Each structure stands twice: as structure tokens, then as C-alpha cells.
Amino acid sequence: MQGTIPAPAKGRTRLLITDDIIDQLGHDDELELLGSTIALERYRDVVIRLRDAGWRRILVVTDHGFIHWPGSDEKRATPPIAGPVYRSRRVLAYPASIDLPGPYALSLGGQLKILPARGASCWSAYGGLGYFHGGASLQEWVIPCIKIEWPQTAQPVNVIIQPLEHVLSVRPRVIVHVERESMFIEDALPRHIEIVIRHGSERRILFRSAQTEITPSQDQVAISLRMTPGADAPWDTPLQIEVRDALTEEVLTTTDSVLRARLDEW
């Protein structure tokens, strides 16, 4: 998902986001090979961005799933009665006056009886896809729904840096302490942060950490940094350690330090 997620506001109390990555991977026969990790990480990132934008209740719903079987043979079923007025791969439609064997549903207005194919079978075969959404199957009738909700007053955790008088290594570690405004963990939200160490006067970034998730259940976290390519500074250079929100790049807190490692010897 690209772009900025708008925050809730007057006249904007709902936000609809759609995505078809799982459908695309399934149709291209990549889902079985690659697994669902790509899609799940994508959706996790979206949920985090929605939460940080102020959306405190998120509902995740899906389209139906599909049944997969080895090989390419279609499981074609024979219609129980000839002469449907409408047919598709998954359903047959008959006039309401005709008696049908097995379960059926009525169309709007009750003029037609709708007969679904059972399980992974279908009324019309084409393509040899090796998978099918199903007719009267569980994943065709039951739609999963995930509800994610936080307290309306919940805010991301704050952090403070444990004082670090000297940076003694080209792979320094910075310890941050987690601050919560409430004694209850449920009243705070996780936050993704990154740490940079800058040249005190020139503001060049000499060290940088990977993005790290800070959760309300943690008290303190030690985060390792790596020297940036081409970084160079002499012994006793004044430094500034900076903690930033990884999503908004907001500077959360800073502290001063002094370089006591030789970068040019690394």
C-alpha cells in the first residue's frame, strides 16, 4: 500500500481498503510454492499504519477460499435435471415450480431455485486449473472475519535513551527504556523505532539501526547499530544519539555522546 493513510475525522468515520494479492498468487499457482508469508506481512504492515494513523477498530474480511487437489482433472458433476434456465460453473438455476433433489436456495423474489455444485465439483468444466472455489463447500459459505480493536485513548509507547557517555565500538548498542502513561499494558500501543548516531556538528549519520518494534510489555530494549558506508570521524568527535519513529520519522528523544572508536581502522 502506497501513500499516506488519512486519519479519522468528521465525515470520515470509515475507510475501505481492498487487496487481491492472495487471489493473484492463487490464480498464478504461486501461493502453494511461496506460501502466504508475503501477503500476511503486507497486511500486518497495513494494520500498523492504520493503527498509527488513529484507526482504533479494524475489521479484516476475506472473499471465499478455494479447494486444491493434485493433477488437472476437473471434478465435473452431472446436473440432476436437464434444462436449467441459467448455468455457470458453480450454480444452476431452475424455475421455482420444478422439484429439485438436495438443498437449494431461492433467488430474490422466489422465482428461481438455485442449485450449487457440491464441494469441489462444478457443473461446467474448463481450463483444468487444479483448484476451484467450491460450490456448497465450507469456504464458499463461511466468510472469516478478524476484529482488531484498541482503546480509543491508547497512544504509542514513549522511549528514553539510557545515557551512553562514549561510543566505544563500530557496532555500538543503545539501550532504550519503555515509558507507558498508564499502568495497564492495554492502554498503550507498540511503536516501530530506529536509532541513528549523528556527527554532532556536521549532522552526518555515522551509525544506524534496523527498524525495531517496541511493545508495551517491554521495560527496556538493547538495539545494535552498524556503521553507515563511508562513515568517518576522528577520535573524540561529539555525537548525538537520535531515536526516531520509523513510520513518521518524528524524533522522539536525543542524547549526547562522544566517539571513542577509530572508524578508519574498521
What residue ranges in 23-136 does DSSP mark as E strands? 57-61, 67-68, 86-87, 91-95, 105-106, 112-116, 131-132
pLDDT at 127 over 50: no
Strand partners, 207: 197, 227
Instruction: Locate the domains of the chain by residue range.
Output: 1-63+143-149, 73-128, 155-265
pTM: 0.53
Percent of the chain with pLDDT strictly greater than 90: 36
Contact between 259 and 233 (Cβ < 8 Å): yes
pLDDT in tens, 78-108: 888 888 999 887 789 999 999 888 788 888 8
- Cell numbers that stand for 161 in this block: 535513551
Domain 155-265 part of CATH 2.60.40.1930? yes
**So what's the pLDDT on residue 180?**
81
